[in-house]
Amino acid sequence: MKSKLEYIWLDGYKPTQSLRSKTMVRNDFGGTLEECPMWVFDGSSTEQAEGNASDCLLKPVAIIPDPERKNSYLVMTEVLNADGTAHESNGRATIDEADDDTDFWFGFEQEYFLWDPATDRPPGFPAGGFPDPQGPYYCSVGAKNAHCRDMIEEHLDICLEAGLNVEGINAEVAAGQWEYQIFAKGAKRAGDEIWLSRYLLERIGERYGLAIEWHPKPLGATDWNGSGMHANFSNKAMREDGKEEVFTKICEEFGKNIDRHISVYGAHNEQRLTGAHETQSIEEFSYGVSDRGASIRIPVSTVEDGWIGRLEDRRPSSNADPYKVAAAIVKTTNEAMA
């Protein structure tokens, strides 16, 4: 039997990378990562190499079934230079091997806009104009307020069938804006799951004639919410010690390393982090219990459970690389605990 392996990677475009993929056909494939060979692609076509030395390598790092295609798998890869070293565009390689263990748990809240190329607006927006002000769209039901639910439900079903750990979906604050949540143990696995789920969402959108807009503020300087990728995280001490000072130390350490985080929390994020629309200004840093206007929110459940739980960094934008976000979070948290 022949199987189709869809190799997926991130290109070298700046400031925001895009997903790329191509199909390999294999005989008698058993479905394991170990069976996936290294592959080569033309890096000169993806801003990752010059034409006179164009070969880049694709190193398989994760594999899941592809429910949309017969006898098919999705293979997440890292981009390597021809000599086998990590390419500069390889965000996954920024996660230290020593730090990539299941001590760190991540829950990413991936927000995004559906986008209609015909109107250059999200569904629900008239061409060149705006619908009723936001308010009725969040977690809404009904054709007036909830747009393209059939596509959203299809994405959820396919992600679950593929084995991705999606934990929920909801319509978001703006018309045509949605969110899904993914949980994973380990920084690399969390990044793999977000990128694979993004790939499936983009591909499903092809059938509906809708693009996915990852920009954190696609509607510009208007009174419409932007899109984030809130990063919920915890380590063993946060989940087990039950000490308020653990959470305080971590939050304070984040406040000492603002540039480390903002530099990898997504391009154009200053348009979203204004201090309005449930954000803290990019110029400020704050943390607080149940405060969605803070840089880091301490969930009220963490306090009520005796200071056992997680933190939510609300600053990462919808277009951020989850590998780089997770790497920064692990590094700063470990420094706080040292």
CATH number, domain with residue 81: 3.10.20.70
Flag whether pLDDT at 101 surpasses 80: no
**Same domain as 74, residue 124:** no
DSSP string, 156-201: HHHHHHHT--EEEEEE-SSTTEEEEEEEEESHHHHHHHHHHHHHHH
Encoded tokens for 176: 């045509």
**Same domain as 46, residue 172:** no
Instruction: List the domain range (segments joined by +) for residue 81.
Output: 2-90
Confidence band (pLDDT; 50, 70, 90) for 324? very high
Confidence band (pLDDT; 50, 70, 90) for 98? confident
**Same domain as 132, residue 77:** no
**Same domain as 70, residue 165:** no
Q: What is the pLDDT of residue 280?
A: 93
Distances (CA, A) of 330 to 54, 66, 241, 308, 320: 34, 30, 18, 18, 16
**Same domain as 146, residue 19:** no
**Phi (first) and psi of residue 129, to 5 degrees:** -140, -160
Confidence band (pLDDT; 50, 70, 90) for 97? confident
Q: What is the pLDDT of residue 141?
A: 97
3-state helix, strand, coil split of the chain in percent (to 5) is 30, 30, 45
**Would strands 177-185 and 166-171 be described as parallel, antiparallel, or unpaired?**
antiparallel
**Same domain as 200, residue 273:** yes
Q: What is the pLDDT of residue 330?
A: 96
Burial 278-310 (b: 16+ CB within 10 A, else e): bbbebeebebeeebeebbbbbeeebeeeebbbb
What is the mean predicted confidence (pLDDT) over 165-170? 98
**Same domain as 108, residue 25:** no
**Same domain as 202, residue 67:** no
**Same domain as 281, residue 207:** yes
The count of structural domains within the chain is 2
Is residue 72 within 8 A of residue 41, CB to CB? The reply is no
Confidence band (pLDDT; 50, 70, 90) for 150? very high
CB within 8 Å of 248: residues ≥ 6 apart: none
Query: Which residue, of 44, 66, 90, is where some domain finishes?
Result: 90
What is the mean predicted confidence (pLDDT) over 97-104? 80
Query: Which residue, of 43, 65, 90, is where some domain finishes?
Result: 90
Q: What is the pTM of this model?
A: 0.96
Is residue 16 within 8 A of residue 319, CB to CB? The reply is yes
**Same domain as 171, residue 46:** no
H or E segment at 9?
Answer: strand 2-10
Query: Which residue, of 28, 57, 90, is where some domain finishes?
Result: 90
**Same domain as 125, residue 24:** no
Q: What is the pLDDT of residue 252?
A: 97
Q: What is the pLDDT of residue 222?
A: 87
Question: What type of residue sits at position 252?
Answer: E
**Same domain as 174, residue 38:** no
> Which DSSP state fits 225?
-
**Phi (first) and psi of residue 324, to 5 degrees:** -70, -35
**Would strands 105-115 and 211-213 be described as parallel, antiparallel, or unpaired?**
antiparallel
Distances (CA, A) of 240 to 84, 120, 237, 252, 289: 40, 48, 5, 20, 19
Confidence band (pLDDT; 50, 70, 90) for 254? very high
CATH (domain of 163): 3.30.590.10
